[in-house]
């Protein structure tokens, strides 16, 4: 987020055609579905009362404006380059304070989980925002599967390191692997999901396929993509952006209009896709989820614990 940017234009892009094709495929698939009994997309995710009624951004906007430093620093880089990532087979190693440590393959993780559509606001610490129709299941369901031991207080997450496929990992960049963490009560909250889909289709690679975290009341950098490891631990884990610049990015990263980033205001945000004029809107405390999550931080100084 503070790293040097090199500017490329759409002229440099070949994979855009690929994802536009995918979009054509999706509308084609929807057309086929309309002829049959089910109107749902391929994942058939159930609606959720936890969804916002705000209008979701388009798939193009969600795929085309993205942060995924493993593939580069430009917002278009994930859509351009993430197709190189192999996501099958995929497994997540679980260790630390758990009853059933081990390597869980994706099918094992998804088995028995009720997939839901969760339409959430996404607020990046860079002061832009979107509305995204994720498909996933509550992280608490997976934590129940692995069995959390009583001493566990935090969950640490890691993304994979694979420079052969992740071009952003080849040169200088962040301290890989990308790392994130949540307090256990945050991880167990019903709003916290592991997402495996978007718009009722499998998650695009640039948005974190095959499995990523989504924590809607926190700045987007907490929502780690392409998870390969989870560790249950008694102490607060590292997180990448805090390691990079602790005076600017904290562990909690709760969306808060009253606590500015040292270099910019967080009072307002730019909604991607809202057009040139209607696009700045007030930032909401906890990104609009205060009613659900403020209690997690009762008595905490949110300016100190940013």
Residue ranges binding ligand MTE (CB under 6 A): 66-70, 122, 124, 159, 178, 207-208, 220-221, 223-226
Phi, then psi, of 130 in degrees rounded to 5: -145, 175
Smaller CB separation from ligand MTE, 68 or 286: 68
Distance of alpha carbon 252 from alpha carbon 254, whole angstroms: 6
Q: Which residue is nearest to ligand MTE (CB)?
A: 220
Residue 21: phi, psi to the nearest 5?
-60, -40
CA-based nearest residue to 81, from 176, 172, 184, 205: 205
**Cβ-based nearer residue to ligand MTE, 233 or 240:** 240
Closest separation in Å from C-beta 2 to ligand MTE: 11
For residue 236 the two structure tokens come to 């607060």
- Least Å from the CB of residue 182 to ligand MTE: 13
Alpha-helical regions (H) of 182-265: 184-188, 240-244
Alpha helices by DSSP H, listed for the chain, are 15-35, 59-64, 77-81, 106-110, 139-146, 184-188, 240-244, 290-293
Which residue's CB is nearer to ligand MTE, number 41 or number 208? Answer: 208
Supply the minimum distance, in Å, between the C-beta of residue 74 and ligand MTE: 12
For the CA atoms of 123, 129, 133, 136, the dihedral, rounded to the nearest 10 degrees, stands at -20
Q: How far is the CB of 5 from ligand MTE (least distance, A)?
A: 14
Q: Name the minimum Å distance from CB 226 to ligand MTE.
A: 6
Nearer to ligand MTE (CB atom), residue 57 or residue 233: 57
Rank residues 184 and 255 by Cβ distance to ligand MTE and give the closer one. 255
């Amino acid at each position: 987020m503070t790293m040097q940017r090199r500017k490329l234009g759409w002229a440099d892009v070949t994979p855009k055609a690929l994802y536009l094709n995918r979009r054509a495929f999706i509308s084609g698939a929807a057309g086929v579905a309309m002829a049959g009994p089910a109107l749902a997309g391929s994942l058939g995710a159930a609606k959720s009362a936890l969804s916002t009624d705000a209008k979701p951004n388009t798939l193009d906007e969600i795929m085309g404006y993205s942060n995924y430093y493993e593939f580069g620093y430009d917002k278009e880089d994930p859509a351009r380059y993430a197709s190189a990532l192999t996501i099958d087979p995929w497994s997540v190693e679980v260790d630390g304070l758990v009853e059933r440590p081990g390597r869980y393959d994706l099918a094992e993780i998804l088995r028995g989980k009720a997939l839901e559509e969760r339409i959430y606001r996404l607020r990046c610490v860079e002061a832009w925002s979107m509305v995204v129709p994720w498909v996933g299941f509550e992280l608490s369901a997976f934590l129940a599967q692995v069995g959390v031991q009583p001493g566990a207080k935090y969950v640490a997450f890691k993304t994979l390191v694979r420079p052969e496929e992740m071009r952003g990992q080849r040169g200088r960049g962040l301290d890989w692997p990308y790392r994130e963490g949540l307090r256990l009560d945050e991880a167990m909250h019903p709003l916290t999901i592991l997402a495996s889909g978007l718009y009722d289709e499998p998650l695009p690679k640039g948005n974190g396929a095959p499995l990523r975290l989504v924590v809607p009341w926190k700045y987007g950098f907490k929502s780690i993509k392409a998870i390969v490891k989870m560790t249950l631990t008694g102490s607060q884990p590292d997180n990448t952006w805090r390691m990079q610049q602790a005076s600017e990015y904290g562990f909690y990263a709760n969306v808060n209009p009253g606590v500015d980033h040292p270099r910019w205001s967080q009072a307002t945000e730019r909604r991607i896709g809202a057009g040139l004029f209607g696009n700045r809107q007030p930032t909401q405390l906890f990104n609009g989820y205060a009613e659900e999550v403020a209690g997690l931080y009762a008595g905490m100084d949110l300016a100190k614990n940013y």
